[in-house]
Amino acid sequence: MTQSKHSHYDAFVRNVRHSSRIELSQSALAKNINFLRKKLGPHPRYSAVVKANAYGHGIPQMVKMLERCGVSHFSAASAYEAEEVLEHCADSSEIMIMGILYDQDIGWAVEQGIEFYVFNYDRLQLVLEVAQRLKKKAKVHLEVETGTNRTGMTEPWFKKSVAFLKKHQEHFDFQGLCTHLGGAESRSNQFRIDQQINRYKAYLTELKKRKYMPKYRHIACSAAVLAMPETHYDLVRVGVATYGFWPSPDIYYHHLREAGKDKDAPMNRIISWKTDVMDIKDVPKGEFIGYGTAFQALHDMRVAVIPLGYSNGYPRGQSNNGFVLIRGRRAPITGLINMNLFMVDITDIPGVEPGDEVVLLGKQKNSTIAVSSFTNYTQLINNEMLSRLPTAIPRRIVK
């Protein structure tokens, strides 16, 4: 049995190559975690948010890489994602579900020792029955409403929930009291965020009065970790910054002011996305390239055919916009992004051959394509572009 050359990229081992590949830098991740840990100091526990397939980076690889950096707590959006984390994490690591956990799966979560948010009082009775049946404590985080008005229980229900947990202490671990800030990355939301923090503190006061404290108080996302030390408490849920992205320009400028610098790059992007030139075409002046009339050659041109398209996560909004890197040079996109193909102009890049490496995202020689360059041409924000990268693209950890 021969192993394919690329099988080490793969979650599912295939014998043939996929049309593109993702590389993840362990050293870039280490740099990000060190920087963020320094902002946090020794106390708060670092929970890496790995929802949306780890912001598109890949849960199996990111869990392994994060554990190498000392991270041992993972936050997922759903039980489905949590199960994937569980498959790949160390036995000693812990997993928290922040979102959807169906009634039918509560038994699974309790059995596996997985922590989960509870934002409805009614759910506690169900969880209690499961915990009693399994003779295992359920690890619950009470999520409270502070002003985002998505999930989170209001004060009367919170009081009832606390009384319920306290009454059935032998069946519950009170893991956390949490809320989520609605837009901490933007200065213009600050009045809302301040109000949320104050409301959260009122819930904490209630708990103090009852002498019943959770293991973790937690409200901070990346922006709060970077710019609001008073939100750090006992655990932080760090998503986008883990992957080396500033949550917003506001947060980046806040850091510069704090550091007293004009520019600084204390975090690096982890992800690169690559493919290869599939074919090369000489296009005579006046001909159209690809479907329709979106691009007409105004002079004799040479184009390279790239073997992926919008079905592979390359945004269609990049049609006639943006560029890829070949031989360290920018090759502009010509015509529409097709389902599985697109073409780029290589007229001014000498010596390109089929099989040459193409960088869609990341660095090649002295040139770089940032995720944010996609947002210049499309309506996609960083998180959306990244989280849409198909899970089928093979991912490999590099130095």
Ligand X SMILES: *Cc1c(COP(=O)(O)O)cnc(C)c1O
Residue 68 CB neighbours (<10 A):
13
Using Cβ positions, the residue closest to ligand X within the complex turns out to be: 239
**Nearest to ligand X of 72, 383 (CB atom):** 383
C-alpha distance from residue 389 to each of 164, 285, 306, 394 (Å):
42, 35, 17, 11
> Least CB distance from residue 237 to ligand X, whole Å?
4
Q: Which residues bind ligand X (CB under 6 A)?
A: 49, 51, 98, 180, 221-223, 237-241, 247
Cβ(359)–Cβ(369) below 8 Å: yes
Alpha-carbon distance of 182 to 149, in angstroms, equals 9
Give kind and range of the element (H or E) at residue 134. Answer: helix 121-134
> Least CB distance from residue 383 to ligand X, whole Å?
7
**Nearest to ligand X of 66, 221 (CB atom):** 221
> Least CB distance from residue 49 to ligand X, whole Å?
4
Residue with tokens 């993972």: 74
Residue 67 CB neighbours (<10 A):
17
Say how many CA atoms lie within 13 Å of 377 toward its Cβ: 17
Give the end-to-end CA distance of the chain in Å, rounded to a whole number.
Answer: 28
- Exposed, middle or buried by CB within 10 Å (0-12, 13-18, 19+), for 11? middle
**Nearest to ligand X of 222, 318 (CB atom):** 222
**Nearest to ligand X of 222, 364 (CB atom):** 222
Non-local (6+) Cβ contacts of 130 within 8 A are 106, 107, 110, 138
> Least CB distance from residue 241 to ligand X, whole Å?
6
**Nearest to ligand X of 344, 385 (CB atom):** 385
**Nearest to ligand X of 74, 172 (CB atom):** 74
> Least CB distance from residue 239 to ligand X, whole Å?
2
> Least CB distance from residue 308 to ligand X, whole Å?
27
